[in-house]
Amino acid sequence: MFTTYQQAAISCGTPPRNRGTWHWSYVEQEIMWPWFYLQIVREHPGESFRSMLMISNVSELKELLDSQNEHMWLEQAQLVTPDHFNGRGRWIMEPLLEVSLERDQRDGSLGHIFKVEGNHCYSTHPNSGRADLMSSQLIFSAAKHLRN
């Protein structure tokens, strides 16, 4: 989740309540958890517009994937991980290849596994590393969901 502050709101001339969007000079992430940095393309007659989305959880990513169509699609996906996930001593951003739901065969508990470029994998499962964890559902695949 990202937190916004009224003092960070940027006025672009039109009151936000009339245009349906807000602009912020910064947002804060209070939870040290992986998040997604995504490039989307919106196509209008004769033009394509690209923008970046910061999405804080897998369910929001899935909603975006389900809403793709011929006028709006995902072009790039990056996973941003804190040091306690990636073991590299700092936050890093890496091209995302896959996101899967992970289930513990013994107790049924769930988590997610993220596969990134360079064959690195990160897990949010509380029993990460146990042999009886299995990937039970592919949620995101770069090969399937990214379009250029």
Distance CA 21, CA 129 (A): 42
The dihedrals phi and psi of 122, each to the nearest 5 degrees, come to: -125, 145
How many CA atoms lie within 13 Å of 11's alpha carbon, on the beta-carbon side?
A: 4
Instruction: Tell me what pLDDT residue 131 has.
Output: 59
Instruction: Tell me what pLDDT residue 146 has.
Output: 96
Q: Which value, to the nearest 10 degrees, does the dihedral of the CA atoms of residues 77, 78, 80, 86 take?
A: 120
Task: Express each pLDDT in 82-103 by its tens digit.
Answer: 999 999 999 999 999 999 998 8
Instruction: Tell me what pLDDT residue 23 has.
Output: 82
Helices (H) and strands (E) in the chain, counts: 4, 9
**The two three-digit tokens of residue 40, written as one number:** 């989307």
Task: Express each pLDDT in 10-62 by its tens digit.
Answer: 877 655 555 667 788 888 888 899 999 999 999 988 899 999 999 999 999 99
pTM of the model: 0.86
Q: What mean pLDDT do residues 76-86 have?
A: 96
Q: Are 72 and 42 in contact (CB under 8 A)?
A: yes
